[in-house]
Amino acid sequence: MSTQQPYQSHGSPELPDQSLESDTDIVMVDRAEPPRCQGRPGSLNPPRKESGFGRSGSAPKGSLREVIDQHGKGQQRFGTGSGTTKILVDSASQSVSIEVGSPRTRSTSPKKGLMGRPTSPSTAIDNTLEAQADTGPSPNVSCQDLRTIYLGEKERWIKCESELKARIDELEALRSQAPSEEFQELQKMLEEERGSRKKAENELSQRNIELEDIRKRWKQAASELNKLRAQGQGFYQITDRYLIDLATQLRYNIRNFAIQYFGGDIRQKVKMEKTGYLKKYMQLTTPGSNGYEVYLHSPTKCPSIVQAFLWRILVGEIFDEFRWAGNASDHVWNLCSILRPKHQSKADPGSCPNPEAERKYQMWSATTTGLILDAVNMEEGSEVCKHREEHKSAVLERIRRVIDPVLRFYDDGYDQELLRILDDALTLDRELSRQVARVFWVFGGKETQIKFDSTTMELEKGEKPSEANQEVLLVVAPAMKKRGKSAGEDFKTENMLLQMEVSCEPV
């Protein structure tokens, strides 16, 4: 075992000849020996009387080597206490390490004495230097170099702190300024938007309450309707024979009217006025051309084109329009237009991609019709009757503006016959609306040319089939078809109630 040798200055590593500031403590520790507690318990500091330097004393002047040579191994403290530099001497390996510690300050409290509170603005450099001291700094690093690094970091910290303080002062100044006009305007707009939003939310809440109330009443009405059905109250029953008789009678009246007043030679050729009914209904009789003008001037075919024109008006203005309900017709029609299945239309009434939807709608329509008939006064002189008569007069006037220029004969019964046709159509539409089955009218396909089919068509009175697959030139009266039954079932099946009446002879 080797014997510990006292520290020799010539055996220590070369240290830079650097003087120390008077505000720096120097602590010398020999790492070859454990520290001896010569002061109070738990302290590594020797008593002040042995060190030869008081806490208020100053560090010795001279190089580090001289300090080491003068004091040897052990632990000594130098300086005023504002900073501590430890010189660690290992006599065994003859090595020297330097530690630069944090300054120490005296507490104002008489009970606490010295306190190891750092006064540096940043402890990061202190920690770094302490870490270097633990691992041992490079022999070429002097105390002056370490102090220079420390002061540089401190200066940079102070500069950063100053910039942050200036920025804080700038933000505080902006904060204390009054808001600009633009900001005030935006603030005002924001408040208005908040008010509008609050109002809209209140309205939406009110609408939701109303909607919920409507739903409850609708469910109650549906429940009552189901009870009535369960009690055995069925729908209005109409036989197919009855419907066929009504439609056949209407055809007969229209044919007689056309032959009576439009058969024979015209007195002079006239130019037709382009009225709304002419464009909407007369031109449809000969789609794609003005052939209707030739028919109107023909002595034999003018009654045929007049029949076709009147049937177009009845289907467009009377059937499925609820005109028999008088002033309530508009409300019923609007409701039906909303509830009617989207595939149903007058342009293509034969389409039925959803039989179940059509069945539900027809059942609702039949029930609604029955309720209206029970609630509305249909007697002469009532408001319903007055409204119905006004509508008939308006339709009559529009019809006459189209066909009067080609009138062959006129008497007092002319208007009465037209009004009778309109009355018969209103009666037929009322009966069709009361029953559940769907009854619709078919004029043919959308094509401008259709071929004669004896299974669905019949020739006009007086015409005979000349050849197979002959072309249909004019649809005199539409076919009447039925889908479903009066009991509210079988809406996938169509039945032909009345064949289409057509003309295949050229003018």
Both tokens of 198, joined, read 């609050």
Distance CA 15, CA 459 (A): 133
Q: Nearest to residue 18, comparing CAs of 47, 73, 61, 71?
A: 61
Distance CA 35, CA 452 (A): 128
Q: b or e along 189-199 (b: 16 or more beta carbons within 10 Å of the residue's beta carbon)?
A: eeeeeeeeeee
pLDDT at residue 57 in the model:
40
Whether the CB-CB separation of 358 and 484 falls below 8 Å is answered with: yes
- Judged against a pLDDT cut of 80, whether residue 51 lies above it is answered with no
Distance CA 96, CA 88 (A): 5
pLDDT at residue 470 in the model:
87
Percent of the chain with pLDDT over 90: 33
Read out DSSP for 203-257?
A: HHHHHHHHHHHHHHHHHHHHHHHHHHHHTT--PPP--HHHHHHHHHHHHHHHHHH
Of 155-159, 184-188, 232-236, give the lowest mean pLDDT range.
232-236
pLDDT at residue 466 in the model:
76
Q: Nearest to residue 471, comparing CAs of 447, 495, 435, 436?
A: 447
pLDDT of 412-465, one tens digit each? 899 999 999 999 999 999 999 988 999 999 998 665 578 888 899 999 988 888
Average pLDDT, whole number, for the chain? 76
Whether the CB-CB separation of 424 and 247 falls below 8 Å is answered with: no
Angle at 464 between CA 460 and CA 465, to 5 degrees: 110
pLDDT at residue 50 in the model:
38
Mean pLDDT of 176-202: 87
Integer CA distances (angstroms), 297 to 302, 472, 476, 487, in order: 6, 20, 17, 48
pLDDT band at residue 503 under the 50/70/90 scheme: very high
Whether the CB-CB separation of 125 and 148 falls below 8 Å is answered with: no
Distance CA 245, CA 409 (A): 29
| Distance from the Cα of residue 358 to its chain's centroid | 31
pLDDT at residue 69 in the model:
52
Read out DSSP for 449-478?
A: -EE--TTTEEEPTT----STTPEE-EEEE-
Integer CA distances (angstroms), 397 to 239, 263, 403, 415, 420, in order: 35, 21, 10, 10, 14
pLDDT at residue 249 in the model:
94
Mean pLDDT of 54-61: 41
CB proximity list for 121: less than 8 A, separation 6 or greater: 154, 157, 158, 161
Q: Nearest to residue 311, comparing CAs of 282, 276, 349, 346?
A: 282
pLDDT of 312-366, one tens digit each? 999 999 999 999 888 888 888 888 888 888 766 655 666 666 888 888 899 999 9
Angle at 441 between CA 439 and CA 444, to 5 degrees: 140
Mean pLDDT of 244-251: 94
Whether the CB-CB separation of 306 and 262 falls below 8 Å is answered with: yes
pLDDT of 363-415, one tens digit each? 999 988 888 888 887 777 788 888 889 999 999 999 999 999 999 988 989 99
pLDDT band at residue 140 under the 50/70/90 scheme: low
Sign of CA dihedral 113, 118, 120, 121: negative
| Distance from the Cα of residue 298 to its chain's centroid | 61
- Judged against a pLDDT cut of 60, whether residue 161 lies above it is answered with yes
pLDDT of 221-239, one tens digit each? 888 776 665 554 567 788 8
Pairing of strands 25-30, 84-90: parallel
